[in-house]
């Protein structure tokens, strides 16, 4: 890994990111990435268990950043970059091993599908109710439900991302679905 340029040492991560977004100058993004490239390398090494693949991934992730940083709101660059690197590695592993994700069809319908409706206003109400109910779930259930249904992650990915065991992930999803269903049924009764 090369060292950062002392010329930019006084600039914060936020300054570098803002300068890149304003000027579209790769020097700023390169400097910003360089500051955190060692962390990216070790994230990749943890997943790939191979130094050369990890070095390649560091370069590929930088190429992705050129497109991603302008499309997303970034409040904490190192944390955001960590998630980008981890997701990149998981996607690479998934594509190589064809890790299958569990289909929604294998489960009881997700709560917003419980009452199918052609009326878009009614669907909007159901989605709003679901979001409110989702916010009421315990944090572990909420995170697992969000990752599984909304971000379409498999159990293994959720386990890796959250640190929960596979058994816990399955339990949080099952209990979260049940709690969402109960909450939404109560909201339907109140309408």
Residue 3's φ and ψ, nearest 5 degrees, are: -85, 155
Q: CA 129 to CA 184: how far, in whole Å? A: 6
Q: How far is CA 181 from CA 118, 133, 137, in A?
A: 20, 9, 11
Mean pLDDT over 29-38 rounds to 93
Least confident of 7-11, 50-54, 109-113, 151-155: 109-113
Question: What is the Cα gyration radius of the chain?
Answer: 21
Taking alpha carbons only, the member of 72, 48, 74, 71 closest to residue 60 is 48
Q: CA 169 to CA 155: how far, in whole Å? A: 7
* Tens-digit pLDDT profile for residues 85-138: 998 998 888 877 644 444 333 333 344 344 444 445 665 666 677 778 888 899
* Tens-digit pLDDT profile for residues 2-23: 556 777 888 999 999 999 999 9
């Amino acid at each position: 890994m090369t060292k950062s340029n002392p010329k930019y040492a006084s600039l914060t991560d936020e300054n570098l990111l803002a300068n890149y977004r304003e000027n579209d100058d790769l020097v700023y993004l390169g400097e910003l990435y360089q500051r955190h490239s060692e962390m990216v390398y070790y994230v990749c090494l943890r997943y790939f268990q191979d130094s050369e693949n990890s070095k390649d991934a560091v370069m590929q992730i930088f190429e992705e950043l050129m497109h991603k940083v302008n499309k997303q709101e970034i409040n904490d660059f190192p944390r955001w970059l960590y998630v980008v690197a981890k997701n990149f590695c998981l996607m690479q592993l998934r594509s190589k091993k064809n890790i299958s994700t569990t289909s929604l069809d294998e489960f009881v319908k997700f709560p917003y599908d419980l009452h199918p409706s052609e009326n878009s206003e009614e669907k909007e109400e159901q989605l709003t109710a679901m979001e409110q109910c989702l916010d009421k779930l315990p944090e572990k259930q909420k995170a697992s439900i969000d990752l599984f249904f909304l971000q379409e992650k498999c159990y293994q990915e959720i386990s890796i991302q959250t640190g929960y065991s596979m058994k816990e992930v399955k339990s949080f999803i099952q209990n979260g679905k049940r709690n969402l269903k109960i909450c939404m049924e109560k909201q339907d009764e109140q309408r």
